[in-house]
Amino acid sequence: MSKQEKIKNFNPNNPASSNSNIFGLPFNKEEASIILLPLPWEVTVSYNSGTANAPNLIFDASHQVDLFDPYIKDAWKIGIYMDEINNNWKKKSDELRNKAVQIISFIINDELEKVEEKAGKLYHEINEGGRQFNQEVKEYVADIINQGKIIGGVGGDHSTPLGIIQAVADKYESFGILHLDAHSDLRDAFEGFEYSHASIMYNALKIPQVSKLVQVGIRDYCEEEYQVIINSNNRVKTFFDRDIKQAQYQGKHYHSLVEEIISELPQKIYLSFDADALDPKLCPHTGTPVAGGFETDQVLYLLEKIVESGKQIVAFDLNETGNNEWDANVSSRLLYRVCNLVARSNNLI
């Protein structure tokens, strides 16, 4: 049955079939315009663990998502497909996670002599494992992009998108990153881990094709990260959560703030969405929850206005969803709307 025949025979108002793919959709990998790549990886998490299980949970929760999108008519017809979970990645993540826990234990217990004596080999294995994971993700994503499809990563912790960003950099000469997060993620090899979840944007800035990093919702960061921001010669523009809130308290409309954010973005955008950008009531089991943050409609309003501005979201990720049904419920609904908006920004519907 062709894609058009599937569209003709599919009733989006019916309950999802247990045999269907994500969101209950009937499309296979070849027919889909958006491919979601599960990234079950969380080697370096420094607080709550469990985000490696998020792709499975989001997939299950997605079958409860209504497909009617009042902003984009018949959005489901674009075709969204989540690929199978790479169990080798999950197995390797679990193996390296156990080793990272040993190092983190030495650090938090001030056993620095053990770090020096015992952690050298562990660091090498963990950093090499992260490099290999990123390379495999990059190769997968390059193939998807070369087929003319849109890629979306579903993590996993926030270290997971680096391979996607690297593949996007091979496709486009210049693009910006829209980074929605509670954290700046600008630490240099946090806790000694080169591919730390807290270093994703530090690593992304090493990619010359990344012309601009626009961070929104940041509310937990160290002085080292602040120095990276202020010394970036405006390559990094950060809209701190405190500043956004205080501007509103003083009477500034959120719409005006959104326009300021959009004005900082280049034409082509990679969207990196950490679930902890949201108010933690929406993601209480995320890796590192922080008080404050956005409501879902505030994030969607920002993304809708970006699409209306004519800018193109070339690829994206949603990461740091907690190992919990409620977190997955929120993320699955956001993921569907993000897919639809990304499709609209690429004139796919």
What is the CATH classification number for the domain harbouring 112?
Answer: 3.40.800.10
Distance CA 82, CA 248 (A): 38
The answer to whether residues 40 and 52 touch, using CB atoms and an 8 Å cutoff, is yes
Q: How far is CA 174 from the centre of its chain?
A: 20
Rg, C-alpha atoms of the chain: 20
The two counts, helices (H) then strands (E), for the chain are: 11, 8
Percent share of the chain, pLDDT over 70: 98
Mean per-residue pLDDT, 38-63: 95
* Tokens 């956001």, residue located: 334
Least confident of 117-121, 162-166, 213-217: 117-121
Structure confidence at residue 112 (pLDDT): 65
Q: Which two tokens stand for residue 219?
A: 């509310």
> Is the confidence at residue 118, as pLDDT, over 80?
no
> Is the confidence at residue 45, as pLDDT, over 80?
yes
For all residues of the chain together, what is the average pLDDT?
Answer: 96
The answer to whether residues 67 and 24 touch, using CB atoms and an 8 Å cutoff, is yes
Structure confidence at residue 24 (pLDDT): 97
Please give the model's pTM, rounded to 2 decimal places.
Answer: 0.96
What is the DSSP code (8-state) at residue 17? P
Is residue 250 classed exposed, middle or buried when 0-12, 13-18 and 19+ CB atoms within 10 A define those classes?
exposed
Q: How would residue 229 be classed by pLDDT, with cut points 50, 70 and 90?
A: very high
Q: What are phi and psi of 272, to 5 degrees?
A: -115, 110
Mean per-residue pLDDT, 21-28: 97
Helix (H, G, I), strand (E, B) or coil at 97: helix
Distance CA 126, CA 146 (A): 30
Mean per-residue pLDDT, 216-242: 98
Q: What is the pLDDT of residues 311-340, one digit of tens each?
A: 999 999 999 999 999 999 999 999 999 999
Structure confidence at residue 191 (pLDDT): 87
Mean per-residue pLDDT, 152-161: 97
CA angle 188, 195, 209 (to 5 degrees): 80
Distance CA 154, CA 55 (A): 6
Distance CA 190, CA 232 (A): 19
Structure confidence at residue 104 (pLDDT): 85
Structure confidence at residue 36 (pLDDT): 98
Q: How would residue 107 be classed by pLDDT, with cut points 50, 70 and 90?
A: confident
- Mention every residue, 6+ apart, whose C-beta is less than 8 A from residue 115: 103, 106, 107, 192
CA angle 143, 302, 57 (to 5 degrees): 55
> Is the confidence at residue 179, as pLDDT, over 90?
yes
Range of the domain at 149: 3-345
Structure confidence at residue 115 (pLDDT): 67
Least confident of 105-119, 190-204, 324-338: 105-119
Domain count along the chain: 1
The answer to whether residues 313 and 306 touch, using CB atoms and an 8 Å cutoff, is yes
Q: Which two tokens stand for residue 274?
A: 């950490």
Where in 65-132 does DSSP place strands (E)? 80-82
Alpha-carbon distances of 49 from 7, 89, 128, 144, 339, rounded to whole Å: 39, 16, 21, 29, 26
Q: How would residue 114 be classed by pLDDT, with cut points 50, 70 and 90?
A: low
Helix (H, G, I), strand (E, B) or coil at 84: coil
- Tell me how far apart the terminal alpha carbons of the chain are, to the nearest angstrom: 21
